[in-house]
Structure 1
Amino acid sequence: MEIAVVGRHTDVTDKFREHVQDKLTKVTQLSPNTRRVDVEVTHENNPRLSDVSERVELTVRSKGPIIRAEAAADDRFAALDLAMEKLSERLRRSRDRHKKDHRRRGAEDARPFADPSTVDEVLAERSEPEPAVLETPGDSVEHQLGDSPVVIRQKLHHGEPMTVDDAVERMELVGHDFFLFIDKESARPAAVYRRRGWSYGVIELDTTCAAAAPVTQLT
């Protein structure tokens, strides 16, 4: 498993890198197929935010969905511990769901098929999404908004068809308040987002639009 540690607006000491290596050994126990873990350390210079001046973000990349957790504290070692607790819980949740899906698929394999079309439908549901060909998912770029202190960060993700239930599960795994995806039933771009309590919302985009009417030039 590869571990990449980067600092944003801060330097990362060898002592902290060694501590990260020790902490992340638990990842392979919960997710043996993990290929890489990205660790991003950010320092906030604003003295008013001294209690959360050190932020650590952990991103696990494996054959399955990306799983992410982040936390902030006044010390980066403490922030890492908090982020690791969140990550471990999400890795366990993903592992348990994988086992459940494996048992369900085993039951489907044991069930006789009525006709060949049913076989095609099951195989289509199990097919892996095509990888992105333009850029590597996870790549990001930042730019400043004019002369203002506002910084905009852009990031590329896979546009993967899935159900709303799957999108909610993915959102919980990365610890975000929203998640973009392609709706498997409508084939439209959509987003699920967290509302109050355990309530969620869904927004879909209608990508069809009427062609613009031709402009008639008066003479």
Structure 2
Amino acid sequence: MKINIVSKRVELTNSIREKIENTFYNLERYLSDDTDVHVKLDVTKRSQKIEVTIFTKNGTIIRAEDSKDDLYNAIDVVYNKLYKQIRRLKTQLINKNKSNESIRFNNIDKYDDINIESDSIIKRVKKFNLDKPLTTEDAIMQMDLLGHNFFVFRNLDSEDLNIVYKRHDGYGLIEQI
């Protein structure tokens, strides 16, 4: 497992680095050895924020964030969130009779996160590789893991671009005509 740490408005001390590495290496038993973990730290006057994104080899993205007065507490809270998400993912994969090998994933796709100028209406652009088609159920699972309200994916059955989204009574699907 590779952990990449980026800090913004805070000096990355050895004790913070050790806390992050020791905490998130505990997830290594659930993830494959070549999984990428991106950690972003940001400190403002009121809070200290940590964002952790895990990119698995099969393209699944697991993400959690938290803001606290104490960075060490925020690290522990984010770890607990990620652990719960990984457990939920493992349970879903077992229930769908997919091989999970203790949630060791393969074939991670490239992910880019690009910030555009602040005076633009668009504040962030994300690029995803849509070459790997998904079932609707897998897309819903990925959307839930990311904590988003919608998810764009290439449908396994039709090879068309589809969108799943959360509704007040469940989920919705937008298909291409």
* Shorter-chain TM-score tier: 0.7 to 0.9
TM-score w.r.t. length of structure 2: 0.79
Aligned to 1:15: 15
Higher helix fraction (1 or 2): 1
Which residues of 2 match residues 137-156 of structure 1 at below 5 A?
137-146=110-119, 152-156=123-127
Counterpart in 2 of 1:108?
Answer: none
Partner of 1:168: 140
Quote the residue 1:41 is aligned against: 41
User: What's the counterpart of residue 29 of structure 1?
Assistant: 29
Structure 2 residue runs of 5 or longer lacking an equivalent are 100-105
In 2: Cα distance, 1:44 partner to 1:179 partner: 30
Computing the radius of gyration from Cα coordinates, the structure with the larger value is 1
Unaligned stretches of 5+ residues in structure 1: 105-127, 207-219
Figure out how many residues of one structure are paired with residues of the other and give that number: 169
Distance 1:187 1:154 in 2: 24
Partner Cα separation in structure 2 for residue 42 and residue 191 of structure 1: 32
1:1-219 paired onto structure 2 within 5 Å: 1-45=1-45, 50=46, 53-64=47-58, 65-102=60-97, 137-146=110-119, 152-159=123-130, 160-196=132-168, 199-206=170-177
Q: Percent identity?
A: 28
Quick one: distance in 1 between partners of 2:49 and 2:125? Answer: 19
Taking structure 1 as the reference length, the TM-score comes to: 0.66
Write out per-residue CA displacement over residues 143-179 of structure 1, whole angstroms, 9 at most, x where no aligned residue: 2243x7x672222212131121111111112222222
Measured in 2, the distance between the counterparts of 1:102 and 1:156 equals 30
RMSD, aligned CA: 2.7
2:8 & 2:148 partners in 1: Cα distance? 20
> Separation in 1 of the partners of 2:13 and 2:115?
24
